[in-house]
Structure 1
Amino acid sequence: MTELHFTKGHGTGNDFVLFADPDATVDLTPERIRAIADRRFGVGADGVIRAVRTAAVPDGRSIAAVAPEAEWFMDYHNADGSVAEMCGNGVRVFARYLTDAGLVDLAPGETLAIGTRKGVVDLQRSTNGFSADLGRWGLGIAGLDGDEVLVRARNLDGARPGLPIDVGNPHVVVAVATDDELAGLDLTYVPVLEPAPPAGANVEFVLPGDPLVRDGVGHITMRVHERGSGETLSCGTGAVAAALAVRHWAGPQAPDTWRVRVPGGVLTVRMAAAEDGEHVALSGPADLVFEGDLTV
């Protein structure tokens, strides 16, 4: 048995259990993760995040060799114990945890580099939390041919075309036509994807705003079924994928700034050119709500 001091945090309702294990001494098995994340018998969370030094874990050592400024690695696991490459809400909450716990100093205007399985993610404080540069994105998902996936979901009439997007983890974005259609989805059931991505995917159901663009900013509403966690109140990388998909569908005159309304609040997505290609940034709140101790 292992004693852990943990912190519970969330980003727009997407909630996490975080704890510090700098030298990777905790045997973080899938069974232990599921026990921690269980909402009836554990703390309860969409994911578990371990703060570990980047050089202390196999997935981080190559990052530590080329980016020593990324001292800390976000070791992220879904509620079912599976490993995730990236979590847009989680990385902001992780930054809040590191700064509040005194593990890093982040002065206004400074950038915090964090190691993830996606690579290095740079964060800065924003007016309502943190902003994360999630780097380059791409159409398509590794292991799939083509740019369309058919999606079936409970209470959704027929199969709908979905746009596969990679923002460090895989997503499939589906457009819906009305508020009732979005609200009527039963996401307690896992959406069926054809063809199925080899590593699965998060699935976003998106309703464009009416009007879509107001004062130069795009507006969409989204629900999400997260791979390994089920429906969540928010998904940061999902909000990014949804904004990218709607901009893609809207055409070249579409804006590069988007407000994404999720059941847990509102996130902001911005796209901007960079030397290595277009980057996408996600900003929104990152809150820590309580601490405690548990035995796993």
Structure 2
Amino acid sequence: MSFDLRFTKGQGTGNDFVLFSDPDGDTELTPTQIAAVCDRRFGVGADGVIRAVRSRNLEAGADALAEDPEATWFMDYWNSDGTVSEMCGNGIRVYVAYLLDQGLAELPPGGTIAIGTRAGVRRVTRATNGFQADLGVWRLDGGEPLVRARALPVARPGLGIDVGNPHVVVALADDSELESLDLGYQPVLDPAPEAGANIEFVVPAEPLVEDGVGRIRMRVHERGSGETLSCGTGAVASALAVRYWAGANAPDDWRVQVPGGVLGVRMHRADDGEHVSLSGPAELVYDGVLSLA
């Protein structure tokens, strides 16, 4: 038996998603269906699927409402291989743009909306050129595993960082090393984390800091999706790692160049610790209907 899925295709700096509205939580796609939707040859094609569901109608949404009763919408995010993910920095901006487009929420310029995710509640602010998402308190996590990647001659140490989902950031020597990587193959971590990790490879710009803003380039292999044109939480983790390596005088504002564009990262203090925010564009590309078995 098949059914029609009404969807919207969206993207943020080339990180693309299939979004659909299911406020009551009646349409739960299987991992096989999600992988089929995301297939770039036989499906719509995307790095992940996002379901817009009211928090009260999803088991995972109960924690979001307990944390913040204003988080009435939950971002139910799945990677392109059908595995569930805790958070997506580009995805949450596109998700908010989708809620506004569908008339499911209202958000004036400068306004903020609370969104439930499996990493906790995240607050998204509407800006003149897109959206800014407060990704909450970050932490060093996962140690310094060795990272092996195809076309990288020698294994390099990485830095484990958690921003609601796990990352390992690797510093490279120059642009040629970054460009020569073959991220069609999954890099290998030693030791390998049980839940896996997103792996970012970064190169500092020259100079690293210009007009008080740090600048880096990044490529990423996302857990469950492979290489993508952009990873929002990966850009955040990369900026945090380079600031950590650079020392106490490093700036709190960063511009991260990814293959799909440029993202802004800002670190700021709050009562519960240091938060990190991600800013960038969000575009809804087209609507469609897909017949699913």
Q: TM-score, normalised by structure 2?
A: 0.98
Query: Secondary structure, in 3 states, of the residue corresponding to 1:90?
Result: helix
Shift of 1:240: 0.1
Shift of 1:295: 1.3
Task: Tell me the equivalent position of 2:60.
Answer: 59
Task: Tell me the equivalent position of 1:16.
Answer: 17
Shift of 1:65: 3.3
Query: Secondary structure, in 3 states, of the residue corresponding to 1:58?
Result: coil
For the 8 Å contact 2:10–2:17, the answer to whether it is kept is yes
2:196 matches 1:222: no
For the 8 Å contact 2:110–2:127, the answer to whether it is kept is no
Q: Identity rate of aligned residues, in percent?
A: 68
CA distance in 2 between partners of 1:27 and 1:214 (Å): 47
Shift of 1:83: 0.3
Name which of structure 1's ranges 22-31 and 275-284 shifts more when overlaid on structure 2: 22-31
For the 8 Å contact 1:14–1:232, the answer to whether it is kept is yes
Shift of 1:3: 1.3
Number of equivalent positions: 291
CA distance in 2 between partners of 1:136 and 1:50 (Å): 25
Output one character per residue of 1:66-108: Cα deviation in whole Å (capped at 9) or x when no partner: 4221111000000000000000000000000001111001112
Q: Which runs of 5+ in 2 are unaligned?
A: none
Task: Tell me the equivalent position of 1:263.
Answer: 259
Q: How does 1:1-296 map to 2 (within 5 A)?
A: 1-141=2-142, 147-296=143-292
RMSD over aligned CA atoms reads 0.7
Output one character per residue of 1:203-231: Cα deviation in whole Å (capped at 9) or x when no partner: 00000011000000000000000000000
Query: Secondary structure, in 3 states, of the residue corresponding to 1:33?
Result: helix
Name which of structure 1's ranges 85-94 and 22-31 shifts more when overlaid on structure 2: 22-31
Shift of 1:20: 0.2
* Matched AA of 1:232: T
Shift of 1:128: 1.4
For the 8 Å contact 1:138–1:167, the answer to whether it is kept is yes
Output one character per residue of 1:217-260: Cα deviation in whole Å (capped at 9) or x when no partner: 00000000000000000000000000000000000000000000
Query: Secondary structure, in 3 states, of the residue corresponding to 2:218?
Result: strand
Output one character per residue of 1:47-68: Cα deviation in whole Å (capped at 9) or x when no partner: 0000000111111112223422
Task: Tell me the equivalent position of 1:144.
Answer: none
Q: TM-score, normalised by structure 1?
A: 0.97
